[in-house]
Amino acid sequence: MASAPVELTYPDLPASVRHVLATLSNAGHEAVLVGGCVRDRLLGETPGSWDWDAATSAAPERVAELFPGSTWENRFGTVTVRGTPPVEVTSYRTEGDYPDARRPSTVQFGATLGEDLARRDFTINAMAWAASDLQAGIGTLVDPYGGRTDLEHRVLRTVGDPRLRFGEDALRLIRAARFAGRLAMTIDPETEAAIIELAPSVASVSAERVRDELGRILELDPAPSGSLRLMERLGLLPAVLPELAALRGIPQAKRTPGDALDHVLAAVDATPLDAPLDARMTVLLHDLGKATTMADGHFIGHEEVGAELAATVLDRLRVPRGRSARIVRAIRHHMYRYDPTWTDAAVRRFIRRTDDVDRVLLFAMRRADDAASGAGEVGERLQAELERRIAAEVEQEPALLTYRRLAVDGHDLQRSLGIGPGPHVGRILDRLTEAVLDDPSLNEPSRLLELAREAATER
């Protein structure tokens, strides 16, 4: 049901947004703000830098013409106008049926605002802001489906028949969990029933779109566990991340209540929003190996099994190889346990063992894991001490620990010992490395060659 006209103000409307609306209006086209920026304003929140969306009666070609340097990348009429923040401008449109539950068979421009809002997913996203005094940021809320009331009552419902809406695009199933979780909303019973019924259809959504939607849950929500738990309850998690869903019921041998899945979700929530890139995804996947490795109350080798499972998940989600490799390496090494009794040599060995790991990512994961395991301040203190010791060792021995440089190389060994190339040269270099890690003062040519001769004699 449409709400009565409501005045909505944007006193701090960004200049780039005002410019887009003014340019379209001055050219004789209707232009309004839509979607997330309207919803966030009603919630008293500041829209994110990528949440400024406008809709217009102008055709895409006309929008691109009015804003030189803009990009028009798809057939849905979305033109991105550069600025701070950038603004995505979409032409009013209607759509045909969705034969593959992913994309409409036809897209027709020249629709009205009312027709454009009618095709949107949820009532809270089917609202628009029409400026009456753009310079002052004064305008009217256009709300034909009662989105404002649903926001006030924290109810998530679709625009019209939920089975039709979800049948048009199955990604909306995950979006429902994301919005309901982040905004602490109750899902309308009819909408929830449709989600549960249609949950298997999420398999039809492209891996890239699922990846990006999961990314929004992990990167934008201070507590992603709400959305992830909803995905589990609605039957979406087993369809999207079966490896993660398999942790339900696996005992968690920690000091906190719940099972292995509860632990992972708590760890994700404990990872701050300003953590390194991919930290939350790493934390989400770090314990996948626990589902198959439990024996006598322990998870033997779960970090290795988990790393392989994480690699499979990331490949399925089409995560770029570089990012995937960083995440997998961190998971493979996450079971280290720093002890204050470690010698300096032990710290140096840890540095060498993790020299191909993004340790910033690894340590962010360790902190989240400790927090979810009840380690609290003790874990943080130990982690901070390890990082201080690592920094001190690297500063003192940068060549050895940062660049893996011994004072001699394989050619030096061959010349001095009179031996040819082969695996034995590598074994001697490994022996020298271990000696230098124990005592860095040995890292000078004459002493290393003396040790090499002893190793060659023993061989």
Domains of the chain, CATH where assigned: 6-146 (3.30.460.10), 154-240 (1.10.110.30), 263-405 (1.10.3210), 407-458 (no CATH)
Q: What pLDDT was estimated at residue 42?
A: 92
The residue-averaged pLDDT of 126-140 equals 94
Write out pLDDT tens, residues 40-93: 999 988 776 567 999 999 999 999 999 998 888 766 668 999 999 899 999 998
Q: Closest Cα partner for 280 from 372, 356, 184?
A: 372
Name the residue with higher pLDDT: 155 or 84. 155
pLDDT of residue 4: 59
Q: Give the SS3 label for residue 260.
A: helix
State the pLDDT at residue 277. Answer: 82
Using omega within 30 degrees of 0 as the cis cutoff, is the peptide bond preceding 85 cis? Answer: yes
pLDDT category, 111, cuts 50, 70, 90?
confident
Integer Cα distance of 68 and 51 in angstroms? 21
pLDDT of residue 52: 92
Helix ranges, 68-204 (H):
113-118, 147-152, 162-168, 171-182, 189-198
Chain segment 321-337, per-residue pLDDT in tens: 999 999 999 999 999 98
Helix (H) or strand (E) holding 155: strand 155-156
Strands 138-142 and 128-133: antiparallel
pLDDT of residue 397 exceeding 90, the answer is no
Which of the 8 DSSP states describes residue 259?
B
Candidate from 261-265, 369-373, 402-406 with smallest mean pLDDT: 402-406
pLDDT of residue 47: 75
pLDDT band at 172 (very low <50, low <70, confident <90, very high): very high
Give the pLDDT score at 50: 65
Residue 243 or residue 50, greater confidence:
243
Q: What percent of the chain has pLDDT over 70?
A: 92
What's the chain's Rg over C-alpha atoms? 28
Please give the model's pTM, rounded to 2 decimal places. 0.83
